Amino acid sequence: MKQVAAIDTLNLSTARCEGIREKVAVLVSGGVDSAVALTLLKKAGYDVEAFYLKIWLQDEVVALGDCPWEADLGFVRAVTEKLDVRLHVLSLQDEYWKLVISDTIARIKQGETPNPDMHCNSLIKFGVFIDYLRERFPSFTKVASGHYAQIAYRDETNSDQVYLKMSPDAIKDQTYFLSRLRQVQLQALMFPIGHLTKQEVRACAREYRLQNQNRKDSQGLCFLGKIKFRDFVRYYLGEKQGEIVAMDTGRVLGVHRGYWYYTLGQRQGLDLSNGPWYVVAKDIKTNRVYVSRWEAALRKKFTIGAMHWLSDDFVEEQHFYHHKVKGSKSMQYTVKIRHGSKQHSCTLTPIKEVSSRPSETEGCYRVNLNEVELGIAPGQFAVFYKENICVGSAVIVEA
């Protein structure tokens, strides 16, 4: 553990911070990752205060019978008291509902597969919260969290841009969820555990004897706690019986309780014989879910909407490539279709280059994978990388 601590001290002291007493607001959740992030900053000499954000939804807690925040806040209080760090508890439930949940429900009803955690990071944790800090606590110069990601700089250039770099722990890497951040947000952030693996973070927690050192990682969406996502969807959209139809024959194979419970590529929860069957299409007008065999659920290309680039450097690079380089207009990246370690090599081509209606496809791209993938669905985010740097993301609009 001495090596880990030394690595962390070096990482924090060389992170372009103007002085060891820089004031940092640390987002804490009750989990081991944010607790270690807070501890490392405190040990490194930063002036830290902890902030716990309440984004759980009271109505759902009452209706579905779970209080996800009580245990979390208990661990937060234990850790902050141990470290002698001031704790703020901030309720952002109204903002979370308006900016994240209402949009998520609407998109599910439209047949899409949204990811509310993406918007939670860009709009709430590093959006509304940073705005709140600047208004109420302007002395804070940085915001830190326990995300598995890194902030990188290009020291060899005059660029003032910062980059979002992957964690060395490929399984825990969270750059996928951070790919909607704006450059001004990235410049305000610190990720104290971003250069560590999960195993090293656990070791740090044991070394510092943190009360949540053995607490299991949370699963699922950040605001639901132990509430199942299916139960959450049922609470808002209810149930509506419809047919499950074989795509190739048109034969009715069974019934379902609402197309909004299914996403493309899904196999679980169909309750059909002679399987396995995979969801390959949904008709929201007729409430039909279409299924087929595994091969029909695979995709090698899809269309994305406008790209959200994380740095102006990437925009300039793309502009130079498309206007100065002769030949192909496609650019080479790797892409993640969902959170996790799996990436695909791909090409990204402006649709106006291959479309007969370029004015209607302005800003959209065609993505071609080097191999087929299961479960590519409209509403999901595609996140793009150059080596270990996240360059941007976009919503999948057609698959």
Cα→Cα distances 173→92, 124, 176, 221, 289, Å: 26, 20, 8, 16, 33
**Which of 311, 276, 319 minimizes the C-alpha distance to 187?**
311
- Torsion angle (degrees, nearest 10) of CA 67, 71, 73, 75: -170
d(CA 161, CA 87): 32
d(CA 120, CA 222): 9
Signed CA dihedral, 309, 315, 317, 323: sign only: positive
Do 201 and 36 form a contact (C-beta atoms < 8 A)? yes
Which fold, 239-292? SH3 type barrels. (2.30.30)
* Token pair belonging to 117: 């955690």
Catalytic annotation on 222? Answer: yes
**What pLDDT shows up at residue 297?**
85
* Antiparallel, parallel or unpaired: β 23-27 and 142-144: parallel
Catalytic annotation on 120? Answer: yes
Catalytic-role residue among 120, 204, 364, 390? 120
Q: Residue 259 gets which letter from DSSP? A: G
Decide whether 239-292 matches 298-398 in CATH topology. no
Strand residue runs (E) in the chain: 23-27, 47-54, 87-91, 142-144, 149-153, 162-166, 189-190, 242-246, 252-256, 278-283, 288-292, 298-304, 308-309, 331-336, 344-350, 365-374, 381-386, 389-398
d(CA 379, CA 317): 27
Could you say which residues of the chain have pLDDT below 50? Answer: 1-19, 354-360
Do 196 and 204 form a contact (C-beta atoms < 8 A)? yes
Catalytic-role residue among 17, 67, 204, 222? 222
Q: Tell me the CATH class for 298-398.
A: mainly beta
Q: What are phi and psi of 325, to 5 degrees?
A: -90, 125
**What pLDDT shows up at residue 325?**
53
Cα→Cα distances 291→228, 280, 375, Å: 24, 5, 12
d(CA 358, CA 336): 27
d(CA 230, CA 236): 10
* Antiparallel, parallel or unpaired: β 381-386 and 288-292: unpaired
Q: What are phi and psi of 47, to 5 degrees?
A: -85, 100
**Which of 236, 275, 210 minimizes the C-alpha distance to 30?**
210
pTM: 0.88
Task: List the chain domain ranges.
Answer: 2-207, 239-292, 298-398
For 284-302, write each residue's pLDDT tens digit. 999 999 999 988 889 999 9
Do 100 and 116 form a contact (C-beta atoms < 8 A)? yes
Q: Residue 73 gets which letter from DSSP? A: H
**What pLDDT shows up at residue 48?**
98
For 123-182, write each residue's pLDDT tens digit. 999 999 999 999 999 999 999 999 999 999 876 555 678 999 999 999 999 999 999 999
**What pLDDT shows up at residue 72?**
87
Cα→Cα distances 20→143, 152, 185, Å: 15, 19, 21
Provide CATH code, domain 2-207.
Answer: 3.40.50.620
**What pLDDT shows up at residue 318?**
72
